[in-house]
Amino acid sequence: IVGHHTCGFAGSLVLVGGDPGVGKSTLMLQLASIVSEGSEDHGSSPVVYVSGEESIEQIANRADRMSIKSKDLYLYSSTDIEDILDKIQPLSPKALVVDSIQTVYLSAFAGSAGNQVQVKECTSALLSFAKMTNIPVFLIGHVTKTGDIAGPRVLEHIVDVVLYMEGERCLSHRLLRSAKNRFGSTDELGVFEMSEHGLQAVLNPSEMFLTEHDSDSEILAGLAVAVVLDGSRTFAIEVQALSVPGSLGQGKVVGTKSKRVEMIISVLMKQAGLKLQDNVIYLNVVSGFELSETAGDLAIAASICSRGGGVFFLYYFYFF
């Protein structure tokens, strides 16, 4: 988006979703600052960041912590869509950010901000504004417990671009992936690291998904590395497994589907002859990465059996 200098997104409506606290507001505030500063070919121009969740002082304090000094970044706190559009039109900004779509409302429609009717109508009003003025509008949206954008499902059909920000709050890395893009491919994946100055692009993401170990260390047992393709980027992902005495099925799986791990365990028991029925298997994909590609199956299996019979297993499993 920044690389296109928003020209390719003129008049578009972009929805950025994610769990609370994942860094959506931080990302959008940084984006607003970068766009407002312009480039050598295009001078600086105003960008408006509107928040219905925070006061101007709170946003300004966050901008100070992130060392944002842009003079053309305008902050406004309001939840009334009509008021927001009236205030920003004289500025003719280069972009508008609304944080968040669940906090704004239109007085012409019944219900409080955040209900399905208000979310749909506010989004439609902002879409009309974007198309008429050719100003790109960025919406921040919260997700439900099921991982969907809060509000009616039609919301994702109204907008031009849908981006999802993922990451564990206790970890520093964040993933930004595209679920919809009317202007191009959805195969791109952004990898960032949260720092005290905001989100920083990660040039070598595999470093974040691998832990450091001495090659002679005994704790290498139970570890395996999978090379997977996510979008157009390749990652080296570490898989960790722990086996302790107990009843099979009582373990916990983090970072991939448990049913998939159960199937791999069954293959190991049947085809490789591993006696796992009296063991509790715990499996973890490092750094909260969601391992969905089938290329990770071999690493899952290798991590489970790596304490014994590994050479035989790898040969047998490969030809299974």
Query: Does residue 210 sit within a domain?
Result: no
Give the pLDDT confidence score for residue 38 in this predicted structure. 81
Boundary of a domain, candidates 203, 235, 251:
203
Least confident range from 29-33, 92-96, 291-295, 306-310: namely: 306-310
Q: Which tokens in the block code for residue 193?
A: 């690291």
Q: Give just the sign of the alpha carbon dihedral 144, 172, 36, 50.
A: positive
Q: What are phi and psi of 10, to 5 degrees?
A: -60, 130
- Do the beta carbons of residue 76 and residue 50 sit within 8 Å? yes
Tell me how far apart the alpha carbons of residues 222 and 303 are, in angstroms, rounded to a whole number: 4
Least confident range from 47-61, 206-220, 248-262: namely: 206-220
Buried b (16+ CB within 10 A) or exposed e, 79-93: bebeebbeebeebeb
Query: Does residue 88 sit within a domain?
Result: yes
Query: Does residue 211 sit within a domain?
Result: no
Give the pLDDT confidence score for residue 234 in this predicted structure. 85
Q: Domain of residue 193: give its range.
A: 13-203
Q: What is the pLDDT of residues 17-30, one digit of tens each?
A: 998 889 999 999 99
253 and 150 in a common domain: no
Q: Which tokens in the block code for residue 251?
A: 């373990």
Check pLDDT > 50 for residue 211. Answer: yes
Among left, alpha and beta (phi > 0; psi -120 to 50; other), residue 115 is beta
pTM above 0.85, yes or no: no
Q: Which tokens in the block code for residue 267?
A: 């293959």
288 and 167 in a common domain: no
- Average pLDDT over every residue of 29-45: 83
- Provide CB contacts within 8 A for 179, sequence distance 6+: 156, 162, 163, 164, 186
180 and 296 in a common domain: no
3 state SS for 99-158:
ECHHHCECCCCCCCCCCHHHHHHHHHHHHHHHHHHCCCEEEEEEECCCCCECCCCCHHHH
pLDDT-derived band of residue 3, with 50, 70 and 90 as boundaries?
very low
How large is the angle between the packed helices 258-271 and 297-305, nearest 10 degrees? Answer: 60
Query: Does residue 272 sit within a domain?
Result: yes
Residue 250: CB atoms within 10 Å: 11
Q: Of the candidates 117, 116, 122, 115, which has an alpha carbon nearest to the alpha carbon of residue 139?
A: 122
Containing 49, the helix (H) or strand (E) segment is strand 47-51
Q: Of the candidates 249, 243, 242, 231, which has an alpha carbon nearest to the alpha carbon of residue 290?
A: 231
Check pLDDT > 70 for residue 42. Answer: no
27 and 109 in a common domain: yes
Give the pLDDT confidence score for residue 205 in this predicted structure. 81
166 and 277 in a common domain: no
98 and 41 in a common domain: yes
188 and 47 in a common domain: yes
* Domain total in the chain: 2
- Do the beta carbons of residue 235 and residue 227 sit within 8 Å? yes
291 or 97: whose pLDDT is higher? 97
Query: Does residue 209 sit within a domain?
Result: no
Query: Does residue 213 sit within a domain?
Result: no
CATH code of 166's domain: 3.40.50.300
- Provide CB contacts within 8 A for 314, sequence distance 6+: 298, 302
Query: Does residue 1 sit within a domain?
Result: no
